[in-house]
Amino acid sequence: MIESQTALIYTMVLVSAADSEMSDAEIVRMGEIVHQLPVFAGFDSDQLADVAQECAEILAGDDGLDAALAQIRDALPDHLRETAYVLACDVAVADLKASQEELRLLEMLRHTLNLDRLHAAAIERAARARYAVA
């Protein structure tokens, strides 16, 4: 089983790759998140690219998306499931737009992590507010 920090990175990679295009803004945001948030304390940020590559390899396999979501679900304790969703939303809006594929992935993630719909909506709204432009 993967570590919880790995699962959080997988979550961000899944959302970024959902539309088959990982934008520079999304990649930069993932790096910032790993460097800044306490949940990644002790994680070697030099390993970010390797963990992202591992996730990409899982996605390329048979039932890759389902396998990756299952690994995320199994690795995350309850108290980090909303954290995973926050990170996913931040990556989805990092390039100032969320594609239909990213929105669908967020919905799948919400179901996989068994998150309350109202809590998820609040997280989504907060992400949109943080990335609003003047």
pLDDT tens digits, one per residue of 54-86: 999 999 999 999 999 999 999 999 999 999 999
Share of the chain above pLDDT 70, in %: 100
How many separate domains does the chain show?
1
Quick: pLDDT tens for 22-39.
Answer: 888 899 999 999 999 999
pLDDT mean over 38-64: 94
Write the CATH number for 113. Answer: 1.10.3680.10
Gap between the Cα atoms of 47 and 119, Å rounded? 31
pLDDT band at 10 (very low <50, low <70, confident <90, very high): very high
- Whether 8 and 39 have beta carbons less than 8 Å apart is answered as yes
Gap between the Cα atoms of 65 and 11, Å rounded? 11
Angle between helix 48-60 and 64-75 (nearest 10): 130
Return the SS3 of 133. coil
* Residue 106 lies in domain: 4-130
Return the SS3 of 22. coil
pLDDT mean over 39-53: 94
The confidence score (pLDDT) of residue 22 equals 84
